[in-house]
Chains A and B, each alone.
Chain A
Amino acid sequence: MFIEDLIVDIQGLTAELGQAAIFLSLLAALWSIVLLSIGLTKRRPNLVRSGRNGIIATFILISIATGTLIFGFVTDDFSMKYVVEVSSAAQPLLYKISALWGRMSGSLLFWLWLLTAAGGVVVLQNRRSKDSLADYALIPIAIVQLFFIVLVTGWIEGVYNPLARFPAGQIAADGQGMNPLLQTPSMAFHPPTLYIGWISLTVPFAFAVAALLSGRIGSDWIHRSRRWMLFSWIVLTAGITLGGHWAYQELGWGGYWAWDPVENASFMPWLLGTAYLHSVMIQEKRGMLKLWNILLITLAFQFTLIGTFITRSGIITSVHAFAQSDIGGYFLGFILLSTLGVIALIVYRWERLKSANRLESLLSRESSFVLNNWLLVGLTLIILWGTIWPIISEAIQDKKASVPESFFNQVVVIPGLLLLFLTGAGPIISWKKITPNNFKRMFIPPIIVGLIATGIAWIYLAIKTVLKDPNQIDGGLFANIPGGLLFSGEKFPIFSLLCVFASVFVLVAIFSEFSRGAKLRTKRQQTTFLNGLRLLIQRNKRRYGGYIVHIGIVIVYIGIMGSKGYFLLESESLKLGESMEVGAYQLTMKDTFQEERENYFRSGVVFDVSKNGKHTTSMRPARHFYHKAGQGDQDTIESAIHGVGMDNLYIALGPLPAKIDNTTNVNAQVYYNPLIRVVWIGVAIMVLGGLVAITERSESTTST
């Protein structure tokens, strides 16, 4: 009793405390901007120190504000507007906490909190730094913070303060509860991972601005922010994949990527970040691309805001059901102003941004990096084009329109395959200019192995097509010539074969890089091959970590090729005891089940799965009826997924009546997704490679 009373007493104060903290943080951020600017221009170390403290203070204040909101969730404080909207008493604790980013105002506060934490970390990391580069970087960080603080104050129409209460004394009996679709572990972790990835991108951007502000355009700013960039990249890689994994498990359409505007918004900064990670190497090695790197990181940062703009402004309709508001205009304004600021700084520092070298040949490692950059930036622009096509269309032809998934699937294939090829060609091509010797030694073996693998894949695909439908032998254009079998089928699998060739080429190229280096070490250190390999990676974590990422990329491509290119889909209406077929599998509806869970009711059917007459497993797809879902009659698809080697058998069910008997029709949509697990494995390898690369300490003293 006593504790409950105490909680109620505290609840009476927390929201107000949090609101006060937000207001004070506004002053603290302003304080930092002003003092750092004056301190750095007038060379007054004590002002700079005070500015740094302002950054720490902002972090503490926003932590208090976020803490009070979490307290409101955990203690079910239904006098708070935001708590009522996204939480309810019965919601499990994990989802009470993840409700923090369940809606717009809360997610802005959460974003801000992460941003202030990043600012705090930058201060701590650089507290013993001999130069002032990091102090310069704190200015743009504080400006971005200030922008977000203004957004959560509640002064802007359409965005209320997440700590706001209902008018005087009104208390709701219970909350409306979070959207049941969001009540899964991957959805609890997916948004914060993306946020962390996006926010850490702010730091390298801030260092680029710091380089412009301070005039120290060497490679210092890149070294100092390298680990932030890699961290952001790793987290974004994981976060985007978690989102795909969530869609795959929860949405019941058997896929993981649909080129939805919000997915694109998360993917575009990743592409730009990837481009940046490559182009900085050219600046470090050859003193080129200085201006480009600054532009690239600026663009990557702006795209994190553009993503938010796209999802929150309501200018583009998206599945992601975030409420729309006037906030888009503020984002657009901030994006434009900050870009103009960077451009002004670039003009101001123009003389120092000149390259030390030029491209010497089209066939060189430098060129392969430049091509990589163009392709990645090009892909970003293509995806942006497709995403904002509704706006463009309305502007130029005065008609509302959009492009479907197939647009994206088709336009990304060629740049995507070129990029895949580059992940292998880049690391083995020589600097400055390719030599015949370099080509013979490094390129010929992987090309030969790649061609052999392509031939095998070609024959395999042709046989599979014919086995599936023997009539197609006659239908083929080249049916009457020897080997015409290979050209049968609806269409020649050109992209699959190119993908196989490039994948094998890259794997052979990268693995021989590893083995060459490891053998050298083995010989020099008189040790075992494995030990040599370990030493090799340890001595140059950045390089070989990067190669591991490349291997992961290849594996992801193979998985995408299989799961996007060769999936099977069957939909049928079944009664108890009836069965259906998908590929080689036979599914028989055996039984039904009903279970009561903590905050939902689970109802579903049991399928017996057999392959060629042999029983392999049973699967239990279901639907969930959430007790407190805010929308009463809403139930959600809970698909059943069964792994077969690297493939998945996937069942999603249509609406079910409360009681199923022998006459009830159950609607099953069944997918066979080949190689889909390969996608998740490939991403795991990419993340692992990133982690290897990030452990290398930056050499912060060298500069060009």
Chain B
Amino acid sequence: MKQRRLKIIAASTILLVAMVFLVLAMTTKTSVLHFTPAELVANAEVNDQQNLQVDGVIAEGSSTWDAANFKLTFAVQDRESNETVNVIYENRLKPDNFSDGGSVFVEGKYDATNNMIVATKLTTKCASKYEGAESTSSEKSSS
């Protein structure tokens, strides 16, 4: 009886440790840091050639869609300042809800010399004018 319980406890401990180890290892391996454009520009050299995510808004009038080369370029602007980071997004469709002033999360590799991100993933949220009063107030409190 005692030996049996020991076996069960040993088996479960091994399983648990293995799982925790796997999860922690994967977290450190895949985790990407988030920056605001201002933070990124301020620490450009440190983050050169790093995979990271930038959260900001699509700068007014900055986006161009080059249909011939299947390429989207725009600047992601800081919510609180005028700092921007350029973004190139190639061979992928422009996501729905992509419009000037809208929130955007850009994931990709940062190139410090050109202050540019070669994006692998874009996530958009509705522009604040569409979100209405409900979120404009909270946007301030959450940022």
Contact = CB atoms under 8 A, between A and B. Distances in A.
A637 B93 CA distance: 9
Nearest to A656: B67
B60 interface: no
B42 interface: no
A418 to B, nearest CB: 9
B80 to A, nearest CB: 15
A360 B4 contact: yes
Contacts of B121: 404
Interface in B37-73: 53, 55, 65, 67-70
B99 interface: yes
Interface in A77-92: 85
Report the contact-size class of chain A (Cβ under 8 Å from the partner): 35 or more
A103 B135 CA distance: 11
B31 A319 contact: no
A83 B19 CA distance: 48
Contacts of A631: 99, 126-127, 129-130
Interface in A281-331: 314-315, 317, 319, 321, 323-326
A386 B31 CA distance: 9
Given A252-B93, A252-B96, A401-B34, A176 B138 contact: no
B52 to A, nearest CB: 9
Contacts of A359: 4, 8
Interface of A: 85, 103-104, 158, 160, 176, 179, 181, 251-253, 314-315, 317, 319, 321, 323-326, 358-362, 367, 374, 378, 382, 385-386, 389-390, 393, 399-404, 406-407, 410-411, 414-415, 571-573, 630-631, 633-637, 652-655, 664-667, 669
A321 B92 contact: no
A403 B26 CA distance: 9
Given A324-B142, A403-B31, A410 B130 contact: no
Q: Which 8 residue pairs spanning A and B have beta carbons closest together? A: A323-B135, A400-B34, A665-B67, A323-B134, A571-B91, A407-B30, A324-B138, A314-B142
A319 B138 CA distance: 17
Contacts of B138: 158, 314, 323-326
Contacts of A637: 93, 96
B31 A362 contact: no
B8 A415 contact: no
A407 B23 CA distance: 9
Contacts, number: 145
Contacts of B92: 571, 669
A571 B94 CA distance: 12
A33 to B, nearest CB: 31
B17 to A, nearest CB: 12
Contact of B93 (A160, A362, A389, A654): A654
A324 B132 CA distance: 11
A323 B34 contact: no
Nearest to B107: A404
A637 B94 CA distance: 9
B34 A390 contact: yes
Contacts of A653: 93
A410 B32 contact: no
Given A251-B96, A319-B123, A633-B99, A410 B26 contact: yes
A402 B70 CA distance: 28
A654 B99 contact: no
A176 B132 contact: yes
Given A324-B135, A385-B23, A385-B27, A666 B142 contact: no
Contact of B94 (A360, A385, A407, A654): A654
Given A176-B130, A382-B19, 9 more contacts: A158-B134, A160-B134, A315-B142, A385-B27, A399-B33, A403-B26, A404-B30, A571-B70, A631-B129
B40 to A, nearest CB: 12
Interface in B65-86: 65, 67-70
B44 to A, nearest CB: 16
B96 A181 contact: yes
What DSSP secondary structure best describes chain B's contact surface? mixed
Contact of A103 (B7, B96, B134): B134
A28 B12 CA distance: 48
Interface of B: 4-5, 7-8, 11-12, 15, 19, 22-23, 26-27, 30-35, 53, 55, 65, 67-70, 91-97, 99, 105, 107, 121, 123-127, 129-132, 134-135, 137-139, 141-142
B19 A389 contact: no
Contacts of B55: 317
A652 B93 contact: yes
A115 to B, nearest CB: 23
Contacts of B137: 158
A402 B65 contact: no
B22 A411 contact: yes
Contacts of A251: 95-96
Contacts of A666: 67
Nearest to B72: A654
Contact of B30 (A360, A382, A403, A571): A403
A636 B99 CA distance: 12
Contacts of A324: 135, 138-139, 142
Contacts of A358: 5
Nearest to A312: B138
B8 to A, nearest CB: 6
Nearest to B34: A400
A367 B123 CA distance: 43
B70 A361 contact: no
A411 B23 contact: yes
A400 B142 CA distance: 14
B70 A415 contact: no
A362 B5 CA distance: 9
Contacts of B139: 324
Contacts of B94: 654-655
Contacts of A367: 8
A584 to B, nearest CB: 21
Contacts of A665: 67-68
A104 B23 CA distance: 34
A317 B132 contact: no
Contacts of B4: 359-361
B67 A374 contact: no
A206 B90 CA distance: 52
B89 to A, nearest CB: 11
Given A321-B125, A382-B23, A400-B34, A374 B96 contact: no
Contacts of B27: 385-386, 389, 403, 407
A633 B134 CA distance: 22
Given A324-B135, A403-B31, A630-B130, A654 B26 contact: no
A287 B93 CA distance: 56
Contacts of A319: 123-125
B111 to A, nearest CB: 20
B31 A389 contact: yes
